Amino acid sequence: MLRLLTAAWFLFAVALPPLHAELKWDTQKIDLNPLPTDATAEAKFGFVNAGKTEATIESVKSSCGCTAPTLAKMAYAPGERGEVTARFDIGERRGVQAATIRVSVKGEGEPAVLTLNVTIPEVAKVMPPLLMWGPGEKPEPKTIEVAAVPNQPMRVVKVTSSTPDFEVRLETIEEAAKYRIVVTPRSIERVGFAVLNIETKINAGEKVLRAYAQVRSNSPGASGIGGAPLAALPPRPASAAEIEPALLAWDQGGAPTPKAIMVRAPAGGSAKVSKVTSSTPNFETAIETVKESGECRITVTPKNTEKPELAFLSIEVDSGGGPAIQRAYLQITSPAK
Amino acid sequence: MSNVRTAFRQALVLALVALLPAVVSALWHPKRPDFANQTRDHEITVAAAMAHRADYLWIDARPVADYERGHIPESLSLNEDQWMDLLPSVLQVWPTGKAAIVYCDSRQCEASEHVARRLREFNVAPVFVLKGGWDAWLAAQKK
């Protein structure tokens, strides 16, 4: 009896797929590693019609606009080979990108799922990618570092600003490895925004990287760009206190242990926290002065961590120019990724 | 050889015997984990986000054509296809310290995760992903 059951189980497991699929794929998953300068990457998913009747492909659909799948024809005789060509448009994408292609065959239930994983390599690291000057800040130079990634020498040949409101200067720290871009706003009196085009050369060719420079105002919409009307939460001026970290997180179901947020005075300034309120009642807060010269600790304790939740703290802090509200965020997340 | 066969057969029987209660638990146990519905790190539910909607900068990571057909009010369009074209408009209206919420079609799409990851590099404010995306937001409006 046991032998019979075992044999039946194996037969069931082995015999089931052919009953549902006429197309037999060489592979259903392809990993691509294009060069940093490539604009597209292409994969070919070969198949054969392993059935006894003609296979008619009804549709080939991609999960995203980044991948264009094509087929030479839609009908395949028994034993005939074919292939789905998937062209991945790299464009301005970065990192590991996954796309799936669903191939539906007439008369078959579930479509075949083809997976394309594309790993787009970095040309270089640009840190920080955005420089900001706040109100009250002096128009002093700030720097961006452009560093080559391991095993790929890179040269920065030119840096230009999209507007004359920012002056840019390129310095070489280490030839073919590390560069510094010094950016200085010409004026801090009015808002300004510039795209910094960083022209690089690597073995595979040329690539333009981007960084951004911005003089911020108290009014988010004041830059004159057609953004949506936003709730008035003023940008943090340079004279504002530093809040570290800006986000505290607890695992759902984990211990509701107290965690701390430090509020520190800006250089040459002060910071006194007068009040802290949470947007939800699940978080208790306590303020403690660490240094009279301008360092406070806010201890946050969740009452429970049973449900996922997101809340924010309104921190009333006086950095010398009167009380202002600054924000920090609290989250209870599931431990599962 | 026959010992190996016996051991294999017994292991198979044990696996099959264990499979039945496992399936029953996974399907009907009252305290079974809701794997499909768990909230990931940096993910925010529609209910939590809507409670303070104006306190977030909303980013639509879907293709521009989808955004133009309909989007969460006051959201801005930013996707990886047109990253360089769209990013400056976002950076110029994104106040320091104002958290952003990024969404795409549904929980299956990865565009919001990619866009959120890239936005975090600018260190303007925390960046969250809307759980369930546009589909979940639409469903919440119908309730």
Q: On the CB side of A219, how many CA atoms lie within 13 Å of its CA?
A: 8
Closest-CA distance, B41 to chain A, in angstroms, reads 5
pLDDT per residue as tens digits for the range A151-166: 899 999 999 999 999 9
Residue A79 has pLDDT above 70, yes or no: yes
Q: Percent of chain A having pLDDT more than 90?
A: 48
CA dist., res. B134 & res. B137, Å (int): 5
Taking a C-beta distance cutoff of 8 angstroms, is the pair B101, B51 a contact? no
Q: A60 - beta bridge partners?
A: A103
- DSSP string covering A252-268, please? TTS----EEEEEEPPTT
pLDDT per residue as tens digits for the range A82-129: 999 999 998 888 889 999 999 999 888 889 999 999 999 988 999 999
CB contact under 8 A, A228 and B75: yes
Q: What is the mean pLDDT of residues A133-149?
A: 91
Strand A192-202 vs strand A205-215: parallel, antiparallel, or unpaired?
Answer: antiparallel
In the three-class reduction of DSSP (H, G, I as helix; E, B as strand; rest coil), residue A227 is classed as coil
Closest-CA distance, A51 to chain B, in angstroms, reads 32
Who among B52, B98, B125 is closest to A279 (CB)?
B52
Q: Which residues of A touch B105 (CB under 8 A)?
A: none
CB contact under 8 A, A2 and B13: yes
Size of interface A-B (CB pairs under 8 A): 147
Q: Would you call B64 an interface residue with chain A, using a CB distance cutoff of 8 Å? A: no
CA dist., res. A37 & res. A201, Å (int): 10
Residue B53 has pLDDT above 70, yes or no: yes
Q: What is the mean pLDDT of residues A256-260?
A: 91
**Has this prediction a pTM greater than 0.90?**
no
Nearest chain B residue to A337, by CA: B40
Strand A247-251 vs strand A323-333: parallel, antiparallel, or unpaired?
Answer: parallel
Residue B33 has pLDDT above 60, yes or no: no
